[in-house]
């Protein structure tokens, strides 16, 4: 009788291990899907901000003084030395 109990215990432990592995794999897959969704949302947000701010590009911004400078003209694309 004790050998039957040992077999049952072994089977239950194996089943428990399989269930844990299945749940862990499901969690990993779910995590990967969430990671992919977050990355996509961040990329979409960056693209929207890039399009929105494309018309408004500053040449210099002094954060300490909250001053922004925008210079129009040929010097924008030319190398200043």
Q: Dump pLDDT digits (tens) for 20-69.
A: 999 999 999 999 999 999 999 999 888 887 776 666 666 777 888 888 87
Domain with 21 in it: 2-73
Give the residue among 62, 65, 64, 59 at the shortest CA–CA distance from 80. Answer: 59
The answer to the question of residue 23 being in a domain is yes
The answer to the question of residue 28 being in a domain is yes
Q: Round to whole Å and give the CA distance between 4 and 11.
A: 11
Q: Dump pLDDT digits (tens) for 6-24.
A: 999 999 999 999 999 999 9
Query: What pTM was estimated for this model as a whole?
Result: 0.49
The answer to the question of residue 52 being in a domain is yes
The pLDDT of residue 23: 95
The total domain count for the chain is: 1
């Amino acid at each position: 009788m004790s050998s039957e109990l040992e077999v049952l215990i072994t089977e239950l432990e194996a089943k428990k291990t399989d269930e844990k592995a299945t749940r862990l794999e499901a969690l990993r897959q779910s995590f990967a899907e969430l990671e992919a969704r977050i990355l996509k949302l961040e990329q979409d947000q960056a693209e929207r901000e890039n399009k929105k701010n494309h018309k408004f590009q500053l040449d210099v911004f002094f954060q300490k003084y909250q001053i922004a400078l925008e210079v129009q003209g040929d010097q924008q694309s030319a190398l200043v030395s």
